[in-house]
Amino acid sequence: MLPKLLLSLLPLVVPVLSQAGAQYVDPDNGIPFWGLTEPVHGMTLGWIFPPLDSTGSLANEFIGEIVAPIDTLWAGVSPGGQMLQNLLLVAWPYDGSIVRSARYATDYVQPLAMSGPVLTDLPSTKVPKLRYTGTNSIPVNTFGVPAWVFSSIGVDTPADPQSTFQEHTDFGFFGLDWSQAHASADDYNNWAAGGTGGGTPTTTISTPTTTPTQPPVTATPYDYIVVGAGPGGLITADRLSEAGKSVLLLERGGPSTAQTGGTYGPTWAQGHNLTKFDIPGLFETMFTDSNPFWWCKDVNSFAGCLLGGGTSINGALYWIPPDSDFSPYVGWPTSWGNHGPYTAKVKSRLPSTDHPSTDGKRYLEQVSTVVSQLLNAQGYTQITINDNPDFKDHSYGYSAYDFLNGKRGGPVATYLQTAKIRKNFTLKQYVYVLNVVRNGAQITGVKTNDTSLGPDGVIPLTSKGRVILSAGSFATPRILFRSGIGPSDMINLVQNDATAGPNLPPQNQWINLPVGMNVQDNPSINLVFTHPSVDAYDNWAQVWANPRPADSSQYLKDQSGVLSQASPRMNFWRAYGASDQRTRYLQGTARPGAASVTTVYPYNASQIWTITVYLSTGITSRGRIGIDAALTARALVNPWFTDPVDKQVLIQGINDVLSTVRNVSGLTLITPDNTTTITDYVNNYDPGSLNSNHWVGSCSIGNSSSTAVVDQNTKVFNTNNLFVIDASIIPGMPMGNPHGMLMSAAEQGVAKVLNLTGGP
């Protein structure tokens, strides 16, 4: 038998009830547990709590047990009911004893060992004692739904409590009235000290009662199911619910900012209701944190799996789209040309600012001064960028953001908040959408990993309902592949997967569309300089654990100062003609610090700063996004420099940027240094470092199913009620970072969906 565990309080996320718990008494120790004997595998799970009014450490623990046949290769419990953001207890037999550990998972990957919980065996019962303090707790005075897991496959290293293991082979949930699972203080303290007895048997684990049969799971149908709570999904769900439709928004991750329930922040900000995602100055630490739970683990590129998606983890550069962003020149249908009313809607919800500190001042602006000297000599004009969105040739200005009141703004601070107050809007987090469920062209619902939302995890639509995919440029294609929509080579990979294959529709219902094709991303090159006036701000390396005291104090006081802004300080654009008669635009972003330095020069690290040079609107290089045999989303063909003209223009642009370096006293280019030419520097640049993470086009909008995935109304070709509204529909690179342009596109896209006949 496996041992009995003394556990703690932990979060509850309600899943499905398949069985009901009751009271029983363990015959070995006489403790009256509340729990369940699971009849298929013969496991018993039980808990007993101290009194409800307990204080101190006693309020954060309980006695619990997992009892299972010795041939069980490993077993586990989640008192909170789900894998994510919950304490997980796992145990297995080895060499005549029991090995066990406490785990925690932030995504659907191997749960990692926790350093906080302490397991201590109680002498008379062999019960390990665990004490764990979490941010949430089991609802000890009401009803809850714990989960159990069972595996017939052994762990990889049985002697090691932190061994890795394969996914469980079976699992289940059961209902439990936690309010009844409390003992007197005297009885609880006796058992916690190793004592026995005191329970009145109602049943025992050797002769368990038959648990009552529960009613079948029912599912609520919705007019609209929106998949993904990034900028596209949040705006879409808000506008749909505003129109009176019943809306379910599904997000595979969890909270981000404090306003959304997030709690992950630096030690120095504790007690101030601020998370990593709130504080603009922590942007650079998104890429260096030792616990980066916000990145999607099944996407082979940086993609945000949390509320807000990319808008909760990016630098928040926010450009009001120029008219060219929605022109046929970049591939938009002519019906999208009048973006003004939709851009105005975004601006009214999210005004931009190029001075985000709450005191109205700009901080750490030495880089801006140096860049202006560099560009003025090249005929550039300084502007307020978002006051002149169409002025993108030889123009520069202070970086603009959608920060609000010195904190991250974006759609989580605006659109999500208005949606949440409507009774016809439902948000579910930690729900992984596997595929849409369809019968030919008709979508009937979505299949998820959450069986509490419907039988076998399937959530249905109302009779005229619609599904809108807003999962992003990588995840939306994967959902389509898993739904039998896309190139046959991708769908065949799904068909060969033992889990995903059975969920595909029949092969005669597969829909051949160019999903994943025509992908673009800005090719980008870093140029690193030093200047004696520049404060590199320790290359942003100290802002998480040990920021400059004056700056952290100022920010905590009123969200002002250096930390109220992300690292970029200046942006500029220039137009270039080329041999193919196309006009391409170059963008520059300047910031203190540097991602990397390669030079033979000695240099002063406290003076380093960077210009990242991008190529944007007008580029012709394209790649492909797909999946591999493990169904991991990845770039199959990189989208940078597949057309050599793009590279020629970028090289010319970099040379032009550098043409006036000598005009600025004290300015030194250290990467590349004078041991290489710009042409060789670009030719030898690490392809992986060209990635700007501005992926667009994988489900491109257009007028023909031979070249596009969605039509001018964002409906997936050859389906009746499946739509896509996210960055994947953008047919060509916008002028700048796509954040603002995407929100305008979402406003226009959801308006077109609502205007279509035949919907709910």
Q: pLDDT tens, 154-165?
A: 888 888 878 877
Q: How far apart, in whole angstroms, are the C-alpha atoms of residue 35 and residue 23?
A: 6
pLDDT at 201 over 70: no
pLDDT at 95 over 80: no
Q: Of 332 and 199, which is predicted with more confidence? A: 332
Assigned architecture for domain 354-399+523-615+645-690: 2-Layer Sandwich (3.30)
Angle between helices 340-349 and 739-755 (to 10 degrees): 120
- Tokens (6 digits) for 278: 């709130």
Per-residue pLDDT at 122 = 52
Which of 58-62, 229-233, 336-340, 396-400 is the least confident region? Answer: 58-62
pLDDT band at 179 (very low <50, low <70, confident <90, very high): confident
Q: Of 655 and 22, which is predicted with more confidence? A: 655
Cβ atoms within 10 Å, residue 476: 29
Which of 198-202, 237-241, 259-263, 705-709 is the least confident region? Answer: 198-202
Q: How far apart, in whole angstroms, are the C-alpha atoms of residue 365 and residue 369?
A: 7
Q: How far apart, in whole angstroms, are the C-alpha atoms of residue 232 and residue 742?
A: 7
Per-residue pLDDT at 129 = 43
> For residue 527, what are the β-bridge partners?
611
Per-residue pLDDT at 61 = 76
Please give the average per-residue pLDDT across 2-19, as a whole number: 34
Q: How far apart, in whole angstroms, are the C-alpha atoms of residue 538 and residue 545?
A: 12
Look-up: residue for tokens 């046929």? 328
Known catalytic membership, residue 694: yes
Per-residue pLDDT at 295 = 92
Which one, of 723, 233, 653, 596, lies nearest residue 429 by Cα? 233
Per-residue pLDDT at 188 = 79
Please name the helix (run of DSSP H) or strand (run of DSSP E) that holds residue 189, with its range, or none: helix 185-192
The domain over range 218-345+408-519+624-640+695-760 is classified in CATH as 3.10.690.10: no
- The length of the chain in residues reads 760
Per-residue pLDDT at 165 = 74
Which alpha helices (H) appear in 660-730, and where do they start and end? 678-683
pLDDT band at 206 (very low <50, low <70, confident <90, very high): very low
DSSP state of 338: -
pLDDT at 507 over 70: yes
pLDDT at 34 over 90: no
Per-residue pLDDT at 110 = 62
Q: How far apart, in whole angstroms, are the C-alpha atoms of residue 126 and residue 578?
A: 77
User: Residue ranges of the domains in the chain?
Assistant: 6-192, 218-345+408-519+624-640+695-760, 354-399+523-615+645-690
Q: How far apart, in whole angstroms, are the C-alpha atoms of residue 480 and residue 433?
A: 11
Phi, psi of 163 (to 5 degrees): -60, 150
Mean pLDDT over each residue of the chain, to the nearest integer: 87
pLDDT at 208 over 60: no
Q: Do domains 6-192 and 218-345+408-519+624-640+695-760 have the same CATH topology?
A: no
pLDDT band at 365 (very low <50, low <70, confident <90, very high): very high
- Tokens (6 digits) for 331: 């591939």
Which one, of 756, 695, 685, 683, lies nearest residue 723 by Cα? 756
Cβ atoms within 10 Å, residue 492: 14
- pTM score: 0.77
pLDDT at 177 over 80: no
pLDDT band at 368 (very low <50, low <70, confident <90, very high): very high
- What are 547-575's pLDDT values in tens digits? 999 999 999 999 999 999 999 999 999 99
Q: How far apart, in whole angstroms, are the C-alpha atoms of residue 529 and residue 594?
A: 9
pLDDT at 5 over 80: no
Per-residue pLDDT at 168 = 66
Angle between helices 475-482 and 488-495 (to 10 degrees): 70
pLDDT at 120 over 70: no
Please give the average per-residue pLDDT across 581-602, as a whole number: 93
Q: How far apart, in whole angstroms, are the C-alpha atoms of residue 60 and residue 138?
A: 10
Per-residue pLDDT at 163 = 80
Q: Of 442 and 118, which is predicted with more confidence? A: 442
Angle between helices 739-755 and 231-242 (to 10 degrees): 30
Which of 74-78, 698-702, 714-718 is the least confident region? Answer: 74-78
Position 308, amino acid: G
Q: How far apart, in whole angstroms, are the C-alpha atoms of residue 737 and residue 720?
A: 33
- Tokens (6 digits) for 178: 């936690």
Per-residue pLDDT at 193 = 73
Which of 66-75, 586-595, 639-648 is the least confident region? Answer: 66-75
- Tokens (6 digits) for 432: 């992984």
Q: How far apart, in whole angstroms, are the C-alpha atoms of residue 604 and residue 329?
A: 45
Report helix, strand or coil for 443: strand
Please give the average per-residue pLDDT across 609-636, as a whole number: 96
Which of 29-33, 271-275, 310-314, 581-585 is the least confident region? Answer: 29-33
Which of 188-192, 487-491, 560-564 is the least confident region? Answer: 188-192
DSSP state of 754: H
pLDDT band at 187 (very low <50, low <70, confident <90, very high): confident
Sign of CA dihedral 414, 417, 423, 429: positive
- What are 664-711's pLDDT values in tens digits? 999 999 999 999 999 999 999 998 899 999 999 999 999 999 999 999
Report helix, strand or coil for 86: coil
Please name the helix (run of DSSP H) or strand (run of DSSP E) that holds residue 237, with its range, or none: helix 231-242
Per-residue pLDDT at 139 = 66
Q: How far apart, in whole angstroms, are the C-alpha atoms of residue 67 and residue 31?
A: 14
> With helix as H, strand as E and coil as C, how does 543-598 read?
CCCCCCHHHHHHHHHHCCCHHHCCCCCEEEEEEECCCCCCCEEEEEEEEECCCCCC
Which of 180-184, 226-230, 495-499 is the least confident region? Answer: 180-184
Phi, psi of 206 (to 5 degrees): -80, -25
b/e code 175-200 from CB counts within 10 Å (16+ = b) = bbbbeebbbeeebbebbbeebeebbe
Provide DSSP, 406-433: TB--HHHHTHHHHHHT-TTEEEEES--E
Q: How far apart, in whole angstroms, are the C-alpha atoms of residue 94 and residue 103?
A: 19
- What are 467-480's pLDDT values in tens digits? 999 999 999 999 99
Tell the CATH superfamily of the 6-192 domain. Answer: Cellobiose dehydrogenase, cytochrome domain (2.60.40.1210)
Query: Which residue is catalytic, options 182, 339, 531, 694?
Result: 694
pLDDT at 130 over 70: no
Q: How far apart, in whole angstroms, are the C-alpha atoms of residue 607 and residue 537?
A: 9
